[in-house]
Amino acid sequence: MNTPLTSLPTRKPAFVPETRFGLWFLSTPTWRVHVLGRALDDLQRLAPDIPKGGVMLDIGTGQGHSLPELAQRFQPSQIHALDPEPDFAARCAAMRQATPVPVTLHDAHAEAIPLPDASVDVVLCHQTLHHIVDQATALSEVFRVLKPGGVLLLAESTRAYIHSWIIRLLFRHPMHVQRSAPEFLAMLREAGFQVDDKRISTPYLWWSRKDLGALEWLGFRVPEQREETLLNCVARKPG
């Protein structure tokens, strides 16, 4: 049911690979439940009208935990999974086999997606854009491969989170390209996407805070005035 791995030429755009700790973290229940699962729940809440079926593209698939989730939630006929990390195919092999729809793996960068124009109905970009150096080109590529009326499901950590001490210590990112939530939204609109206010969410989850939620656990209020650490939004290609 799964189709072969495809790849681009050896010359690839700039990409910051994950640390060993980061790769381990992607296999933990915290990642699967509190990061991936809660993001998908929120994105579905923002866009309950996304039709079932069609072709999906998952950008930054990693170890593949998103694949069976996408199959269950959106029931696509085909999933394309894209990631430039070494050993991508081996790392996501188990999740790929557990996915009940055809999955094609692409050893490729989001700045050069190896798919035809207007060939994808829904794109998931979950915690991936902040790893990409040329984010504008990546979004242009997403816009290109989406069909008119197609949807981008974006879930991102913002600059306030990526620049925090704990993330600097444990993970690796291109620090000079990190953006705030308003800056990410502006970039989406500059790329041609429609983003309605009702399709935007900025959850302040415990794992995205500098104190990992300790102050709230001790009884302190969550600050109302803050720089947002997370952005979830549903962006649509006009059609």
HEC string of 162-223 equals: HCCHHHHHHCCCCHHHCCCHHHHHHHHHHCCCECCHHHEECCCCHHHCCCCCHHHHCCCCCC
pTM (predicted TM-score): 0.87
Query: Residue 77: helix, strand or coil by DSSP?
Result: coil
pLDDT per residue as tens digits for the range 166-180: 777 777 778 788 899
pLDDT of 225: 77
Write down all domains in the chain, each with its CATH number in brackets.
Answer: 38-45+54-218+225-236 (3.40.50.150)
Sheet strand arrangement including 55-59? 3-7, 103-107, 78-82, 55-59, 120-126, 146-157, 230-236, 200-201
Query: Which of 43-52, 96-105, 129-138, 156-165 comes out lowest in average pLDDT?
Result: 156-165
| 208: nearest Cα among 227, 224, 221 | 227
Tell which wins on pLDDT, 96 or 51.
96
Give percent of the chain with pLDDT exceeding 70. 86
Share in percent of the chain as helix, strand, coil (round to 5) = 40, 20, 40
pLDDT of 136: 96
* Mean pLDDT, rounded, for 173-197: 92
CA–CA gap between residue 20 and residue 68 (Å, rounded):
24
- Phi/psi class of residue 122: alpha, beta or left (left: φ > 0; alpha: ψ in -120 to 50)? beta
CA–CA gap between residue 48 and residue 154 (Å, rounded):
15
Tell which wins on pLDDT, 28 or 165.
28
On average, the pLDDT of the chain sits at 87
Tell which wins on pLDDT, 171 or 79.
79
CA–CA gap between residue 121 and residue 109 (Å, rounded):
19
**Cβ(100)–Cβ(79) under 8 Å?**
no
pLDDT per residue as tens digits for the range 207-234: 766 766 555 566 667 777 778 889 999 9
pLDDT of 6: 46
pLDDT of 11: 41
Q: Using the predicted structure, report yes or no on whether residue 99 has a pLDDT greater than 60.
A: yes
How many CB atoms within 10 Å of residue 26?
A: 20
